[in-house]
Structure 1
């Protein structure tokens, strides 16, 4: 029977640097010859018509659990943990909709998952064997979000700030920040914290050598 895949969850507020840490860990693992892959929770936003129905035609809160296809993601996490392939959804941020499916992805030794709500939701948290929380000051997070959304997602500065004040910050305080208590390791600063990165790599080496 194939050994179970190690699932590592990386959580932090929007703009905290969790994606950078996930990508750096992925790079280092692959440099050491480990079979690792990265999966992002943002790919699991529900189809636009589903999201609209859930919010009953009102303003959509993209940082609320109802905006996500949690059942699909939980199913995929269980499959990956058991070494089974998945077809990851393809999500277009400019149209705010799912536009297709990727080719089947086969998990290797490690799957890194990053997203806002991985620890806050028990149906996702239960599948994670290592849980990392990236703790970054709010002023840094909002500046990074403005840079990202204007450059990569075609947003205006005003719309980014409005969304931050009306949904991102309230949802961070309700779901993301409290989920820190589930973390095995809290990483201040972000990808610049090379000590934390090395600690995580040592842990992975130890787990995979058993």
Structure 2
């Protein structure tokens, strides 16, 4: 490891430690002493604290925004992997991840025809069911069990009768292109991350993804990107970057940033293991953010 890289890593660590101190739950000495005994094998291993699925727990809610194919879901996946949560039974997870894509509105027949031709704007705020997102996140913050719709990208519709059950957890990641766009939803997050990846990289990722995973052809993907995705990013998504507490350049490729975020979440999990009350959060001003880069 070069001296320059190491120094940047240390600086990033200090910045993130300072930032995260304002998000950490307040714990008195008695609580800290009762939870000081190790309960895990480290932040890259499985958390062995409280059993999940208990109604009434209020989680630490993290919003993860960024442009299409910026790496939002991959960032969440890496966080889950490093915390040993991926292979944990759904009802036992301490950390869960939810996609904003699950909350696309049901399309009318005319909109469905447009979508099939690649002429429907899925990146516009109106494409999402804002009320359902807000109510679902409110229920999650209230410690309630929630059923999240399953969305089929090939048919541009929800899978009828299919849901993913989200049980009460300690930390909830909510990712999507416009998770910071709606003020009432944005204000629910205790921490806001913006995954910042350059447009060329995002397009290079989106093309094979939409062709291989979503059944689109190349011409349709490129036309949709130029006519809808790119303009919507510049008008609706990019301006919300200013609301982020932490900006992550290069997404999941930024391993330093991922590790720092994981360690902060680890602190939340470890520190909250014996706390049965809602976190007391000191919010940072919305006008400032920190960029974690290597």
1:76 is matched with which residue? 136
Uncovered stretches (5+) of structure 2, i.e. residues with no partner: 1-54, 273-294
Q: How many residues end up aligned between the 2 structures?
A: 206
Give deviations 1:31-89, integer Å, cap 9, x for gaps: 59961111001111011128939x9xxx5211001111111111101111121111111
Residue matched to 2:259: 198
Normalised by the length of structure 1, the TM-score is 0.90
Q: Provide the secondary structure at the position in 2 that maps to 1:131.
A: strand
Matching residue of 1:106 = 167
SS of residue matched to 1:179:
helix
TM-score by length of 2: 0.66
In the alignment, is the contact (CA less than 8 A) between 1:48 and 1:98 conserved in 2?
A: no
**Residues 51 and 67 of structure 1 are in contact (CA less than 8 Å); yes or no, is this contact kept in structure 2?**
no
* 1:5 corresponding residue in structure 2: 59
SS state at 2:252 partner = coil
CA distance in 1, matches of 2:109, 2:236: 22
Cα deviation, residue 3, structure 1: 3.6
CA distance in 1, matches of 2:242, 2:129: 24
120, 131, 155: which one pairs with 1:95? 155
In structure 1, C-alpha distance between the alignment counterparts of 2:199 and 2:66, rounded to whole Å: 11
In the alignment, the residues of structure 2 paired with residue 46 and residue 198 of structure 1 have an alpha-carbon distance, to the nearest angstrom, of 35
Secondary structure of 2:159's partner?
Answer: strand
The equivalent residue for 2:95 is 36
In structure 1, the gaps of 5 or more residues are none
Residue 104 of structure 1: CA displacement?
A: 3.3
Matched, 1:163 2:217: no
Residue 150 in structure 1 maps to residue 207 in structure 2: no
> Whole-Å Cα distance in 2 between the matches of residues 187 and 51 of structure 1?
38
Q: Note the C-alpha offset of 1:29.
A: 2.1
Q: 1:136 aligns with which of 176, 197, 211?
A: 197
The answer (yes or no) to whether the contact 1:136–1:189 under 8 Å persists in 2 is yes
